[in-house]
Amino acid sequence: MQALLDQEGCNIRLVCSHRLHAAANFKARRNFVPVFKTKKIDFSEWKQFLISRQISRLFLLGFMRIVPADFINSFRPHILNLHPSLLPLYPGLEAIESSFQEKAPMGVTVHQVIPEMDAGDAVVQSLVFEPKDILEDFNRSSLMMTFREHYVVRRVGEKWN
């Protein structure tokens, strides 16, 4: 989120969050971007709200939930997701942990969201570590993944504006 907010000319019109105290909410407000918060995810409510605000493109960042096909199809092909692995390797949760433990290539993917989880076409993939280069310390490896996520999000944001 911060990577997009820092980008000159980036047109973020709304942040939706089910995590009431997420850092993205505070960052958005600091940049005068409205925040729609709800404790429970009601996709039909979110869909109506987004349509009423004429929001047609969505970028899912840190949104680790299964999104219903009806919601996805309402915004397709304009929903992207950031995933912390080189898809199709390690879809779903704990992708960083799995690739680290298995000493597999580590990287990030931004992909089109389709009803099948983490199965949409890749828009951008970026390798962070080859297996021989993976750091011994998981926390340092994870931090390097975060830095690469910010870089990739900025690249995609530049193309999407």
> Which positions are catalytic?
83
Whole-prediction pTM: 0.90
| Residue 2: per-residue pLDDT | 78
pLDDT tier, 80 (very low <50, low <70, confident <90, very high otherwise):
very high
3-state secondary structure the chain: CHHHHCCCCCCCCCEEECCCCCHHHHHHHHCCCCEEECCCCCHHHHHHHHHHCCCCCEEECCCCCCCCHHHHHHHCCCEEEEECCCCCCCCCCCHHHHHHHCCCCEEEEEEECCCCCCCCCEEEEEEEECHHHCCCCHHHHHHHHHHHHHHHHHHHHHHHC
Q: What is the mean pLDDT of residues 25-43?
A: 88
**C-alpha radius of gyration, the chain, whole number:** 16
Instruction: Give me the percent of the chain exceeding a pLDDT of 70.
Output: 99
| C-alpha closest to that of 90 among 103, 73, 77 | 103
